[in-house]
Amino acid sequence: METVPQNSSLPRPAADPAADFNADPGQPGLNPAPHKYGGVGLWLRDLLVSAAASVLIITFLYQPVRVEGTSMLPRLEDRDRLFINKFVYRFTAIERGDVVVFHYPRDPDKSYIKRVIALPGDSLRIDHGQVWLNGKPLREKYVPEEYRDSRSVEEIVVPEDCYFMMGDHRSISSDSREFGPVDRSLIYGKAAFVYWPAQDAGVVR
């Protein structure tokens, strides 16, 4: 399992025409009794199909990862396990507020998980912890007051095909305030669902 530092029903078989065979024309047709193992066989078949489908979905669509660190508190805690969607951005655009996983720009062998704050072409500045986006203060309900800081960043325009990332725990997060906007090519998944531990389970927003 990769770690990400924060710094429908089957169709029924066709009826067997021999099932209504009647040796005595004077008696109603008699269907043979089902084989005693038929129900178990169907159950096992459905179980195997479901398991195979689950493996394919996880392998090619979702990827399990483990969070390391606390820069995405309060939603993501250290050692949380979650699924990331690896294909969603092939069909939809990256949006502000998405929690994404990307290769760390200074060391592509490492992965970070952060929140998208600004998109390509956006004007951004940070004044003592307050993010200003395109000339307006950004409301960030996902950042509790106790996790804010007083850092400032001079105004920039996010370059084409790049995204400005920040952790929700602003006072300890290593993010685009340090290493700059992240190139689109480095982003490879969107955080979808925490599955462990049970008390943290749920959709990532």
- Using an 8 Å Cβ cutoff, are 203 and 192 in contact? yes
Contacts of 148 (CB under 8 A, 6+ apart): 129, 170, 171
71 is catalytic: yes
Q: Give the whole-angstrom CA distance, residue 126 versus residue 174.
A: 15
Neighbours of 53 (CB within 10 A): 10
Which of 71, 111, 173, 174 is an active site residue?
71
Q: Are 158 and 119 in contact (CB under 8 A)?
A: yes
H/E element holding 199? none
**Which pair of tokens denotes residue 106?**
């200074």
Q: Which of 162, 158, 159 lies closest to 186 in space, CA to CA?
A: 162
Is 190 assigned a catalytic role? Answer: no
Q: Which of 111, 114, 173, 174 is catalytic?
A: 114
Phi-psi region of 128 (alpha: psi -120 to 50; beta: other; left: phi over 0): left
Using alpha carbons only, give the angle 198, 200, 203 rounded to the nearest 5 degrees.
110
- The catalytic residues are 71, 114
